[in-house]
Amino acid sequence: MDCLFCKIANKEIEAQIIYEDEKSIALLDVNPLAPGHTLIIPKVHTDSIGAMPEADIGPLFLTVRKIADMLDDAFRPEGFTIGINQGPASRGGIEHLHIHVVPRWHADNGGSIHSIVHNPPKESLEEIKKKILNESH
């Protein structure tokens, strides 16, 4: 498969890997937003959380916590932004699930998750809630 992250997981392409276990790898983002900006990827190709075997989701997020602890020790940031770009409207061309862990500082010129998207709904929260609950039953 012609997937950059599969090739990194298979050690066909070099990356700055800072952690690896049976099912996940953590590597430094090649376009870091901050010192220590890391990507956590499952070794087996998947394009979304929803496509993952349920048993693999918990361990992947344990790796996220481990990486945040490692970055905390190394850089002493004042916070983290942790996020996933999932689906064609969200991501930048890479279809292998990856979780960004970005160390944050008060003076890093960044915003919160709320600064990423500017598409507030026209419906009320009650209408939105009704739509979600009706369509998931």
To Zn ion, the closest distance from the beta carbon of 41 in angstroms equals 8
Token look-up 């945040």 returns 68
Token look-up 């369509």 returns 135
Strand partners, 38: 28, 101
In the bound state with Zn ion, the residue whose beta carbon lies nearer, of 70 and 94, is: 94
| Catalytic-residue membership of 106 | no
In the bound state with Zn ion, the residue whose beta carbon lies nearer, of 45 and 91, is: 45
99-104 and 79-84 strand pairing: antiparallel
Out of 37, 98, 106, 118, the active site residue is 98
The residue ranges that bind Zn ion (CB under 5 A) are 3, 5-6, 45, 96
Dihedral sign for Cα 33, 38, 42, 45, please. Answer: positive
- Residue number, nearest CB to Zn ion: 3
| Active site residue ranges | 98
